[in-house]
Amino acid sequence: MIDIIQSFFRDLAETYPKWNFIFFYEPAQWERVVSGLYVTIKLSVVCVILSVIIGIAGAWAQGSPSRIIRWVVQSYIQFFRNTPPLIQLLFFYFALGQFTPTVTGPDGWTEQPIISNVGWAIISLSFFAGAFNVEIFRSGIEAVPNSTLEAAESLGFTRAQTYTNVTFPLALRVSLPALNNNLINLVKTTTQAIAIAVPELLYEMVSIWNDYSSAQNAAMTVLFFTYIALVGILAFGMHKWEKRLLVPGFGKAS
């Protein structure tokens, strides 16, 4: 089976030199694609989880009685929402990266920063998407009727019990469609990590077509379809979740 595929793409590249899917018949190039895809998936999963945590925590902090905490959250949102994510990434890596301590690498003589380029990409992308998530969850929280919370209060629920049992489950249902959009954007934005040489899928693909210029069209085609598939899986999962949380008479009519 693999032989058939490999010889098909080798023939294709010979017949149409501009369509050289080299990674489909040369194992060394295939491995680069696979390792890039693995980094992209890892980056996406970690950033999605962290950004959702930041969103929930931020939305909770926005309801804080302390003006200082609310101001900090607001400044964070304004900064990350109103500046380009690529500049944020470069700033984190090149500016803040200078000030982080270094450790001696496993080889015993190189000095390596404790936060790697992958680490900075995760931090930067999570905070970027997290800023939007705070606003998304906040709008969900504000959509929960005050009277419902009052009912919880009259039943003896504390503020925290009301938040976990009533406010959050209802806010989540309102927030999911917007959250879905933002997380899809986040997965696509992970490609920007190429700017600080994170070896994710785009980075590996560009490397391949730098080595084999005939592979450029092929690599771009594969990139498009891979992201359609990745985002498709995420959107499908989110949609399933949305459906599972759907309750009659709340939000979308069943």
Partner 1 sequence: MPASTTTEQTWTQDQPIVSIKDVRKSFGTFEVLKGVSMDIMKGEVICIIGPSGSGKSTLIRCINALNDIQAGSITIEGQEVHDADLDKLALRKKVGMVFQQYNLFPHKTALENVMMAPLKVLKQPKEEVEKRARTLIKKVRLEGKENSYPGELSGGQQQRVAIARSLAMDPDVMLFDEVTAALDPETVKEVLLTIKELAADGMTCILVTHEMAFAREVADQIYFTDKGVIVEHGAPDVFFENASDPRTKEFLGQIL
Using CB under 8 A as the criterion, what x/- string covers residues 157-176 for binding partner 1?
A: x---x---xx--xx--x---
Task: Name the minimum Å distance from CB 165 to partner 1.
Answer: 6
x/- map, 214-253, partner 1, by CB under 8 A = -------------------------------x-xxxx---
Q: How far is the CB of 240 from partner 1 (least distance, A)?
A: 17
Amino acid at 131: A
Beta bridge partners of 43: none
CB of 235 to partner 1, least distance (A): 23
Question: Would you say 101 or 156 has its CB closer to partner 1?
Answer: 156
The interface mask with partner 1, positions 84-123, x = CB under 8 A, is: ----------------------------------------
Q: Please state, as a whole number, how many other Cβ atoms lie within 10 Å of the Cβ of residue 96.
A: 13
CA–CA gap between residue 97 and residue 100 (Å, rounded) = 5
Smallest gap from residue 52 Cβ to partner 1 (A): 19
C-alpha Rg value of the chain to the nearest Å: 23
Q: Specify the residue, 75 or 148, whose C-beta has the smaller distance to partner 1.
A: 148
The reply on whether position 151 binds partner 1 by CB under 8 A is yes
Residues that bind partner 1 (CB under 8 A): 145, 147-148, 150-157, 161, 165-166, 169-170, 173, 245, 247-250, 254
